[in-house]
Structure 1
Amino acid sequence: MAALDASIINIALPIMRRDFHTHMSTIEWVSLSYILTLAALIVPFSRLSDMFGRRWMYTLGFSVFIVGSFLCGFAPSLLFMFLSRILQAVGAAMLQANSVSIITAATPSHARGKAIGIQASAQGVGLSLGPLIGGALITLVGWRWIFYVNVPVGIVGTILGILMLPQDAKKSLREKFDFLGAVFLAPTLVSLVYILNSGTQANWTSPIVITSFIVLIVGAIAFYVNERRIASPMVDLTLFRSKIFSLGNLTGLLSFAVMYAVMFLAPFFLDNVRRLDALTSGLFLTAIPIGMTIFTPISGAIADKFGPKRPLVIGMLAATLGSGLLAVTTVWYSVLITLLGLLLVGVGMGVFTPPNNSQVMGSVPTNRLGITGGMLNMSRTLGMGLGVTFGGLSYQLFLGAEGVISESRATFSQMIPAFRDSYLIIALIALVVSVLSAMYAGQRKKDMKAPIDSQGMSHVAQK
């Protein structure tokens, strides 16, 4: 439901702009308000779920998401829509803060990769069906139904959550919630996500961008100092001493940056250079989530049986090859090569993500599963924004190297090498992720054998 909602909304924005009689720069906040709220709350909710239980937090998230979705569909004004999207994002943050941690807690270690792979596959299905279902709903009954459709699904999810999710273990140690850490972290993450999501169109000297950078720097320093000095921090910084935790989150971020940079650039190439219509470009792009959907459960099962190193490395090598083929097809265009390149990027993400997430979740004590799942989801969100910003900026920089002053005046002979070089840089990043994955995958046994004390904290982390 969450992936479907994320992929549906972009299709509806042009129609919503006309209905609300506003500008594109304003209607974009329908999407941006959701993303920023999610960024601000997912880590605090992850910490709360570790402290008070994941089952009811997840179930409550469904209920809040339902109410927010209904109000979005009902919205009589743009301000009402913004507030409803914020409420919807609150529910989504509760869901995302707990999904991977619930699966990890309920699944034996020898089947964890497969279980997380099935969950990732469900996300791929949602991303794949979003444009199709969204287009059908908008055409047949109007854009409001892209929100109303969440209501029956959410009701079923709430009921199943109450009936079927496992009971949370009783908490033997009740820790205090780090309110000050939440106060520092929320504006820091909001500023970072805003900068990443506005990077392709923002004026870097504008007051709002400069203010965002200041808030980001000051907030990050204040958060770090606060987390170092208190007994029950929002984010246990000792977790970063584990190579699996640190590099797993970093490579997860970079992998999503690779995919979203490709997803950002591909439509512009197909439209500006190949002159394809929006429907045909959309069909090309479905190759990425289709590749993810098929290979995530397969990769998880392989990682469970043979270890994570091979699928981690092979996954990012596939994404490297896919990005390289997209660079080739900018010069020697072929429908088959273009589809194969996009498919390999999706296959690479499908092969890489389950063992990466499984390794990270398996490297932490049970009382840190919630915050770890939240960090993984936050890495994904930051990677999406970074990919869009990096894809756009790299293309603009390579256009500038071709002597282009205004993007609208670029010729085919100038656009083609700019797209080619951008894809090559993306391929290089995917290759770096593959190398990093090969380095940290070997640490798996060492980290997972760390003894856990009565409070659920590994002695390695305590040191």
Structure 2
Amino acid sequence: MKSIIAERSEAIAERAPSVRWALASLSVSMLLPSLGTSIANVGLPSLAHAFDAAFQDVQWIVLAYLLAITTLIVSVGRLGDITGRRRLLLIGILLFTLASILCGIVPTLWLMVAARAVQGLGAAIMMALTMAFVGETVPKERTGSAMGLLGTMSAIGTALGPSLGGLLIAGLGWPAIFLVNVPLGVLTFVLAYRHLPADISKGKTDRRGFDMAGTLLLALTLSAYALAMTIGHGRFGPLNIALLLAAVFGTGLFVFAEARAASPLIQLTVFRNRVLSASLAMNALVSTVMMATLVVAPFYLSHALGLNQALVGIVMSIGPVVSILSGVPAGRLVDRLDAPFVVVAGLVAMTAGCIAMAVLPGISGYIAAIAMLTPGYQLFQAANNTAVMADVRSEQRGVISGMLNLSRNLGLITGASVMGAVFAFSSGTADVATAHPEAVASGMRITFAVAGTLIIVALAIAAGSYRRRALGKS
């Protein structure tokens, strides 16, 4: 008996450092894709000058990256399930790192756009497989803490990008905002190679199961939707409508193809799982609202409240800082309480934040609203990801993780377009930049009234899912 206890103690002692190092590699793997998004945004004016290009053209440097992630994230998650997650994650880190080098040395804009698309492919692999690895590297009772840590690292990447990018451009020029990823990529590769568990050998039958037709259909469909939401900057013209119709048609064609595929990219039966379907819907709604804070806040703070650019930057940094501070505690709370209950609690806090944003005036009102909205988002994200990933079968972790990330990205794209259009419409002007301060303040109130309604819809979905779980256990 004593020998058995001693063996278990030794196993636990050996596992603890490996879990910490595995989490360290996953944390940096989550940091890089978010840093790759936010650090490029601040460099767009410098890139427009360097390539002598219009601002609309250099925006494709950001758009190509986001499109690659959005269109491929489910497919690479499925590919990881089939071929081995560790092997594919290492390839993704390598692609991201090499593409970062190319971005720093390319001589033309369109080569830059192509390199950013490759970088986006690497980022898609890293985002999809990082969450999938949590189930293989972390004990189930610590899943919430791990998800909270990954959420914190994503927030750090988003928050660090603008300030780090500004310093690098001022000191070393625009190539530095891409080349800074190289040492981080090398570090991530070494950590992942040394500390993530080896892939389990799969038979030839499993390796033949990648659905190329479904992958192509899904990529084209998601591309059409993403372009419909981004081209025209929120103004829907004939091209946007045509792309949206193509996305609807593509969705139907994808469902038809998957129902007949021998080894489908997405098994349509997973949508019969009400917990997963509810989680994906809530994730999209919540991401739509969080993007509204990024789209609307700069105009509100500068035009309605009269803050200069430096103060706008300081006030807008409050949200990411709160996100960083609340991510890990949110994850620990999920481990101690029931994840669906924490989902509901997070959405209640977000509802209160949206209401505060709509009714509380001035800078103090904005800060108070962000102080409720952001921790609520971190609670929701940690609990929602845990609720989905904790009980997923090993062979499905990659694709389900990809679907969670996809729903988030679709929400961000929709939020940037639709919530931006709501803000412009409710401000009563075609150009928000020249609108009267009272009109901008009115637009802010109406936009977050709509945002609050979306969170209430998510709350209703969560309450229904929580009630079904409670009845299932009784």
TM beyond 0.5: yes
- Whole-angstrom distance in 2 between the partners of 1:218 and 1:438: 32
Q: Pick the aligned partner of 2:139 from 108, 121, 131.
A: 108
* Bigger mean CA deviation after superposition, 380-389 or 209-218: 209-218
- Match of 1:97, SS state, is helix
C-alpha distance in 1, partners of 2:42/2:431? 27
**Which amino acid in structure 1 is aligned with residue 217 of structure 2?**
F
1:378 to 406, 410, 422: 406
Q: 2:221 aligns with which of 168, 181, 188?
A: 188
Other-structure match for 2:342 = 311
1:407/1:130 CA distance change after superposition, 3 Å: closer
Structure 1 letter corresponding to 2:96: F
Q: Which moved more, 1:407-416 or 1:122-131?
A: 407-416
Partner Cα distance (1:379, 1:447) in 2: 26
In the other structure, the counterpart of 2:327 is: 296
**CA-CA distance at 1:240 after TM superposition:** 0.7
Q: Distance in 1 between matches of 2:228 and 2:313?
A: 27
Q: Answer yes or no: is the 8 Å Cα contact 1:291–1:350 preserved in 2.
A: no
Counterpart of 2:397, as a letter, is L
Task: Name the residue aligned to 1:429.
Answer: 454
CA contact (8 A) 2:331 2:383 kept: yes
* Cα displacement string for residues 260-285 of structure 1 (whole angstroms, at most 9, x for unaligned residues): 11111011111221222223212212
Aligned equivalent of 1:224: 255
Aligned partners of 2:467, 2:397: CA distance in 1, in Å? Answer: 21
Change (3 A) 1:111 1:186: same
Match of 1:458 in 2: none
Report what 1:176 is aligned to: 209
What is the CA–CA distance in structure 1 between the aligned matches of 2:162 and 2:213, rounded to whole Å? 40
- In structure 2, what residue type is equivalent to 1:269? Y
TM-superposed CA distance for 1:390, in Å, is: 2.3
Per the alignment, residue 360 of structure 1 pairs with: 388
Q: TM-score, normalised by structure 1?
A: 0.91
Per-residue CA deviation, residues 388-413 of structure 1 (Å, 9 max, x unaligned), is 1222111122234xxx4664553233
Question: Partners in 2 of 1:95 and 1:409 — Cα distance?
Answer: 41
Q: For 1:188 and 1:446, locate their aligned partners in 2 and report how far apart those are by CA, in whole Å.
A: 38
2:154 corresponds to = 123
Q: Which amino acid aligns with 2:69?
A: L
Aligned amino acid, residue 190 of structure 1: S
User: Partners of 1:251 and 1:326 in 2: how far apart?
Assistant: 20
Q: 1:391 to 1:38 in 2, by over 3 A?
A: same
The CA distance in 2 between the partners of 1:365 and 1:323, in whole Å, is 36
- Aligned pairs for 1:78-89 (under 5 A) are 78-89=109-120
2:89 and 2:469 map into 1 onto residues whose CA distance is 29
* Structure 1 position 287, deviation (Å): 1.8
1:46 corresponds to which of 63, 72, 77: 77
- Aligned with residue 58 of structure 1, among 86, 89, 95: 89
Residue identity over aligned pairs, in percent, reads: 29
CA distance in 1, matches of 2:438, 2:109: 42
SS of the aligned residue for 2:210 comes to coil
Following TM superposition, where does structure 1 have runs of at least 4 consecutive aligned residues deviating by more than 6 angstroms? 445-448
1:412 counterpart (437, 450, 460): 437
SS at match of 1:21: coil
Q: How far apart, CA to CA, are the structure 2 residues paired with 1:199 and 1:424?
A: 25
The answer to which of 438-447 and 153-162 deviates more is 438-447
| Uncovered stretches (5+) of structure 2, i.e. residues with no partner | 1-31
1:266 aligns with 2:297: yes
Matched residue SS, 1:358: helix
**One-letter amino acid of the structure 1 residue matched with residue 466 of structure 2:** A
> Residue in 2 aligned with 1:138?
169
Shift of 1:203: 4.1
One of 272, 281, 287 as aligned partner of 1:256: 287
Q: Is the 8 A contact 2:304 2:438 kept in 1?
A: no
Partners of 1:73 and 1:115 in 2: how far apart?
A: 33
Which deviates further from its counterpart, 110-119 or 319-328? 319-328
RMSD of Structure 2 on Structure 1 (CA): 2.0
* 8 Å contact from structure 1 (residues 256, 387) kept in 2: yes
One-letter amino acid matched to 1:394: V
State which of 173, 180, 188 in structure 2 corresponds to 1:149: 180
Whole-angstrom CA distance in 2 between matches of 1:418 and 1:132: 28
TM-aligned CA deviation for residue 446 of structure 1: 8.6
Unaligned runs of 5+ in 1: 449-463
> 1-side partners of 2:427 and 2:302: how far apart?
17
Structure 2 counterpart of 1:396, from 424, 429, 444: 424
Residue-by-residue CA offset, 1:115-153 (whole Å, 9 max, x unaligned): 111111111111121121111111111111010000001
Cα distance, 1:384 vs structure 2? 0.7
Q: CA deviation at 1:199?
A: 6.0
Aligned to 1:345: 373
Quote the Cα distance in structure 2 between the aligned partners of 1:409 and 1:28: 22
* Structure 1: distance between partners of 2:232 and 2:418: 8
Aligned-pair distance for 1:218? 2.3
- The answer to which of 112-121 and 409-418 deviates more is 409-418
CA distance in 1, matches of 2:343, 2:322: 16
In the TM superposition, what whole-angstrom CA distance separates every residue of 1:70-128 from its partner, at most 9, and x where no partner exists?
11011211011111111111111111120100112222222111111111111111112
Query: 1:156-177 CA deviation, whole Å, 9 max, x = no partner?
Result: 1111111111112233661521
Write the deviation string for residues 342-393 of structure 1: whole angstroms up to 9, x where unpaired: 2322111111101100111124322110000000111111111111122211
Is residue 56 of structure 2 the alignment partner of residue 28 of structure 1? no
- Say if 2:283 and 2:408, in contact at 8 Å, map to a contact too: yes
Superposed displacement of residue 317, structure 1: 1.6
User: Matched residues in 2 for 1:187 and 1:11: separation?
Assistant: 29
Aligned to 2:26: none
**Counterpart residue type for residue 380 of structure 1:** R
Partner in structure 2 of residue 456 of structure 1: none
Alpha-carbon distance, 1:230 to partner: 1.7
